[in-house]
Amino acid sequence: MPIELKIPAVGESITEVQISEWLKAEGDSVKQDEPVAVIDSEKTTFDLPASHAGKLVKILHQAGETVAVGTVVAHLKAEGGAAKAEPAPEKTPAKSEAKSVSEPKSKKPQPAEKPKTEKAQPAEPEPENPKGTSEEESAPEAPKAEPKAAPVTESKAADLKASPPVAKPKTPADPEEDVVPMSMLRRTVARRLVEAQQSMAMLTTFNEVDMSAVQTLRKEQQENFEKQHQVKLGLMSFFVKAAVDALKKFPQLNAEVRGDNIVYRNHFDMGVAIATERGLVVPVLRHAERLGFAELEKAIADFAMRAREGKLKPDELDGGTFTITNGGAFGSLLSTPIINPPQAGILGMHTIQERPVAVQGQVVIRPMMYVALTYDHRIVDGREAVLFLRRIKETIEIPARMLIEV
């Protein structure tokens, strides 16, 4: 009996998934827990592992197909079962071949068998046939070949006389465009972004942050921090800390609209946007207010690694009360991020660029970053949004405020 490879449950709200690609072909050997396919859901992309070691004998649903959770998509043959099953078919033909070879020696009534082969051969001519048979078959073949060749030659000549050569029609061999179906993850992201723009009154406000203090702190403490915690001290943990601090002072940005009500949350689950080849994912740092710098950096690094490997769990992407996205990782100088519904705000970080700024009446060169806050104007007024972003700026420029909470 083949082993059924089924689509596992990937979250309460997810009922169907899309097969993105098969990593193994029919006949390939697989190890237990080795990924055999990449599966897209509306929240994340994940690998489908082999439940047993053995061979992939049958693929039932091809890449690009959408299937329900629990569907059998392939059959495996277990390693032990394959080893036992193979010797039996090999021995049976060996015995029958031995009999067929020995029988002509003892029984020599071959003439009785020849007529049978001669009658069967006209459908499949071979050089072993008698001369008479091969000549009778080759004679009708010649006239068949000539009429086929003649019309082709005449049509070509007629075409050349009738009109000059024309451009060949486009063939699939050299298309001018590729049509690729959107992954389920990409379709979901697209739908949610459009819904956000249609259902929210989104507005963006900007500010700029002097990153000198954070850069100096990171440079001074990086070696000790990495030695003690086995992770680098990055920028994101500073902004997560600063965002939690600002959200405590401006709770409208940690709220959501639910019907005719505003729901204010007393916990801070921070979504961190991560770009992958398959699309944008936003894993959530649960209760970020309880996490230290090392815990934040380890969690963010783990999310980033597993997001690119397609190993994030659906429940790690659920919820979130506020989101931070870092377009600066790709060199973005300025942008207007789109809110991740039903949240009320999203903070956009950008690239750090040395610029001349005025400090105490003097023009100096400082590492500056533009920051952007997009907010839902239905529940967040402009005043709260501007003050929230100014609080982020002040906290990043004086990191000690994160420790003494002023």
What residue segments make up the domains of the chain, in order of their start?
3-84, 199-404
Nearest-angstrom CA–CA distance, 47 and 17:
12
Residue 173, pLDDT score: 60
Closest-CA residue to 233 (of 296, 182, 289): 296
Residue 146, pLDDT score: 44
Decide if 341 contacts 307 (C-beta within 8 A): no
Tokens representing 33? Answer: 């827990």
Which segments in the chain show pLDDT lower than 70? 12, 80-174, 405-406
Nearest-angstrom CA–CA distance, 186 and 129:
63
Q: What type of residue is 384?
A: E
Q: Is 287 tagged catalytic?
A: no
Decide if 76 contacts 2 (C-beta within 8 A): yes
Residue 405, pLDDT score: 67
H/E segment holding residue 293: helix 293-309
Catalytic residue, candidates 28, 159, 315, 381: 381
As assigned by CATH, the class of the 3-84 domain is: mainly beta
Angle between helices 212-229 and 293-309 (to 10 degrees): 80
Q: Is 377 tagged catalytic?
A: yes
Task: Give the three-state DSSP class for 321.
Answer: coil
Residue-level length of the chain: 406
What is the Cα 110 distance to its own chain's centre? 65
Task: Give the three-state DSSP class for 48.
Answer: strand
The fold adopted by the segment(s) 199-404 is Chloramphenicol Acetyltransferase (3.30.559)
Nearest-angstrom CA–CA distance, 242 and 262:
24
Spatial neighbors of 129 by CB under 8 A, at least 6 apart, are 118, 121, 137
What is the Cα 358 distance to its own chain's centre? 46
Residue 406, pLDDT score: 60
On the question of a common fold for 3-84 and 199-404, the answer reads: no
Catalytic residue, candidates 61, 75, 229, 377: 377
- Cα–Cα distances (Å) from 8 to 48, 70, 202, in that order, read 8, 6, 37
Decide if 30 contacts 51 (C-beta within 8 A): no
Tokens representing 318? Answer: 């659920």
Tokens representing 105? Answer: 């020696």
